[in-house]
Copies of this chain bind each other. A is one copy, B any other.
Amino acid sequence: MAKASSTGVRPTIRMVAELAGVSTATVSYVLSGRRGDGGPGVSDPTAEKVKAAAERLGYRPNQAARAIRTGRTNTVILSLTMLSDPWSLSVIESVQKAAVPRGITPMILGDADWVKVLGAHNADAVFVDAVREEQRDALRKLAEHGTSLVVFDEVLEAEGFDVIRSIAGPGCRMAVEHLLHGHRRIACLTPATVAGTSGGTRYRAYSEALADAGIPEREDYVGLFDGTSAGAYAAATRLLSMPERPTALYATTDYAAVSAINAAQRLGLAVGKDVDIIGVGNTVEGERMSPSLSTVGPVDFFDKLARLLLRRATAQSSPDAAKDPGVLDFPWHLFVRESAPHRSAATRLY
């Protein structure tokens, strides 16, 4: 029960050394488990003494002090602007899965003004989720002065930092065209926050694909909702309850598509038969549900992102295979699953 040392003071390596009756160097060797080059180098008895002393004092190595000497913090920072977005949660999850086993801690920065913070807190690598115009210069400066950056952006070029890119337009187009093979009455389910954001691209793909197919766009076939799942559910219910009910539904996000499937089933419609529903994003939930969700999106996006980030974080010290920063482009694919299967001439709904 050895209590000792409830002094409210953070124990240092020197206190441990004193209590164990050895030098600080020995403590350092024992606790970090390494020694210069070859063999073990610390005898079992002393190692035990040191460990006991450290345990008794509640000693924890001081990352800040370690960082100053080694240049590594064993930390990656994720700067995420929309924490509530499932996309952000996927990023966090993937990075955590990749980082934690290697002893690296992901820290999340919820604020959008990463510019001030990142220069000061020296993480081994940083992921930035969105770059505003006026932040670009600061970004380049950071990269110039030793910060390892991975940036998610559709237009930036790699200038000392990695760029991850995932362009939605063509993929969304594929989704709508997939529906056009079997349908004419195609509705669109999209959040109302279309202004300027990526939502705009996704809705535009719908408009343009319909126009190119010679199908006039009906205003009452566009289901706007407030961005929540409940809102998507309500909007989908409205669309699917119309007298001239659409036979297919293009949802600009996967979670909206999921809500739409729920709504359709509640209305007694067989999804993939009476009505086809396709989403955008290729999130994991869609793959797991029943019926499985047809969707478009990048392949393996989050895992590859995590791997790149971790490689950057690790390559700091060992510049072995650390390639120069570059652009990593994720092409989108069409995933035809149960909620919107292939339609032959025989199964067309028009």
Contact = CB atoms under 8 A, between A and B. Distances in A.
A99 to B, nearest CB: 9
A344 interface: no
Q: How many copies does the complex hold?
A: 2
Contact of A89 (B9, B62, B84, B142): B84
Interface stretch (A232-240, A245-253, A291-299, A331-339): A232-240
Contact of A230 (B5, B142, B258): B258
A8 B144 contact: yes
A229 interface: yes
Contacts of A106: 110-111
Contacts of A266: 234, 237
Interface of A: 5-6, 8-11, 57-58, 60-65, 67-68, 73, 75, 77, 83-84, 86, 89, 92, 96, 100, 105-111, 113, 117, 119-122, 141-142, 144-147, 160, 228-234, 237, 258-259, 262, 266
Contacts of A237: 266
Contact of A259 (B9, B75, B77, B230): B230
Given A62-B68, A230-B233, A230-B258, A121 B105 contact: yes
A258 B228 CA distance: 11
A267 B334 CA distance: 37
Contacts of A86: 84
Contacts of A120: 60-63
A8 B83 contact: no
Contacts of A111: 96, 100, 105-106
Given A68-B62, A141-B58, A234-B266, A10 B259 contact: no
A73 B83 contact: no
Nearest to A77: B107
Contact of A146 (B9, B83, B110, B144): B9
Contacts of A146: 8-10
B58 A64 contact: no
Given A6-B144, A233-B234, 20 more contacts: A6-B160, A8-B144, A11-B145, A57-B145, A58-B142, A60-B119, A60-B145, A62-B120, A64-B65, A83-B89, A83-B92, A83-B108, A84-B86, A105-B121, A107-B108, A108-B109, A230-B230, A230-B232, A234-B262, A234-B266
A207 to B, nearest CB: 26
9 contacts: A5-B145, A10-B147, A63-B120, A65-B68, A68-B68, A108-B110, A230-B232, A233-B234, A234-B262
Contacts of A228: 229
Nearest 5 CB-CB pairs, A to B?
A60-B119, A108-B108, A229-B230, A10-B146, A229-B229
A192 to B, nearest CB: 15
A229 B258 CA distance: 12
Given A67-B64, A96-B111, A110-B96, A9 B145 contact: yes
Nearest to A114: B105
